Amino acid sequence: MSGVIQRVGVLTSGGDAPGMNAAVRAVVRKGIFHGLNVFGINRGYEGLIHGEIHEMSIGSVADIVLRGGTVLKTARSEEMKTLAGQQKALAQLRKLEIDALVVIGGDGSFRGAQTLAAQGVQLVGVPGTIDNDIAGTELTIGFDTAVNTVVDAVGKIRDTASSHERTFIVEVMGRNCGNIALQAGLACGAESILVPEIPYDLDEISDKLKRGHQRGKNHSIILVAEGVGSAYKIGEELHARSGFETRITVLGHLQRGGNPSALDAVIAAAMGGKAIEIILAGETNRMTAYIDQTVISRPLEDAYGNRRPLNRELYDLANELSI
Ligand code: F6P
């Protein structure tokens, strides 16, 4: 591809996350500010493969900075996992002389990106997923908002749990990562938090519920990360052990929607802007990362390094606080 980067593509891929729009806006506006032509690619790699590409203007990202979802649309592309799909994607970029690509998404999206980078596309990955499960960055775009959404929902569930003196099992997203459950659980004072990273004992949880009941506690909230297994099954087993009336709420996709929190909007803007800086500096195969409250550039392969382990200190603290 040409030595001087003038044409940059941007796409969002995988599960959408609040703040993706703020990142797209930053890529487009900062790119234009520096004299680049920026192209939006619709529906992630699906749209790239099928040529759904249009030039973006300053106005095409107006009024989206605090809007949830992604105006570029997103998809999980099976075709991009095939060599034929990757070749079609590359051909589309070459046809439009797009030399550089910003991919906003999770680790699956980054894998697709690496195949294009191997073919000479100047590539920058921007971590966007509510799961916060990408190595190399302390935060991914969307995580903070999702945690706040869960805390808000649990507050409402607690009202009815308290009125009816019930135990609620609330299942949250996160794929095979317990970060959403842990952070939200600690923030809202859940009685127990079940995460895939740490074994749990339902007898112990049941005993804790009984101890609480003896102290006069009339309701409980148990947060279960989806990677642990079915909240319904856990609810049945806890009912069988404790005798307490249980109800299940699976929060599901509402955790992916809504306006981004200020933190997510700021991180997204900083990461989108950093992606353009990386491109202007002529670097490739990089990702943006949030480390010590600063957005930095680091090798894309760091996204596949050892994931930060679940914060065990916070997990233990949550247990100590919910005796
Ligand atoms: O990766 C984000 C995420 O919301 C996960 O937490 C969840 O397991 C998955 O996506 C759900 O994917 P889909 O929207 O394709 O059902």
Distance 99 CA to ligand 1 centre (A): 30
User: Residue whose CA is closest, atom 7 of ligand 1?
Assistant: 175
Please report the pLDDT score of residue 323 as a whole number.
Answer: 82
C-beta of residue 252 within 8 angstroms of C-beta of residue 226: no
User: Residue whose CA is closest, atom 8 of ligand 1?
Assistant: 175
CA distance 5 to 58: 19
User: Residue whose CA is closest, atom 14 of ligand 1?
Assistant: 15
**Amino acid at the residue 100:** A
CA distance 99 to 1: 6
Please report the pLDDT score of residue 1 as a whole number.
Answer: 42
CA distance 10 to 268: 14
Per-residue tokens: 227: 């990677």
- In the chain, what are the domain boundaries? 7-142+260-304, 144-256
Domains 7-142+260-304 and 144-256 share a fold: yes
Record the pTM.
0.97
Please report the pLDDT score of residue 306 as a whole number.
Answer: 79
Structure-derived torsion over alpha carbons of residues 173, 176, 180, 184, reported in degrees to the nearest 10: 90
Please report the pLDDT score of residue 304 as a whole number.
Answer: 87
Please report the pLDDT score of residue 3 as a whole number.
Answer: 55
- Cα angle 292, 293, 297; round to 5: 80
Q: Which atom of ligand 1 is nearest to the CA of 106?
A: 1
Q: Which atom of ligand 1 is nearest to the CA of 174?
A: 6
C-beta of residue 146 within 8 angstroms of C-beta of residue 173: yes
7-142+260-304 — its CATH code?
3.40.50.450
CA distance 226 to 223: 10
Give the CATH class of 144-256. Answer: alpha beta
Please report the pLDDT score of residue 2 as a whole number.
Answer: 45
31 lines ligand 1 (CB under 6 A): no
Please identify which of the residues 131, 133, 144, 264 carries the catalytic annotation.
131
131 included as an active-site residue: yes
Please report the pLDDT score of residue 305 as a whole number.
Answer: 81
pLDDT in tens, 143-158: 999 999 999 999 999 9
Alpha helices for 196-261 (secondary structure H) = 202-214, 231-242
Give every residue of the chain whose pLDDT is below 70, as ranges: 1-5
134 lines ligand 1 (CB under 6 A): no
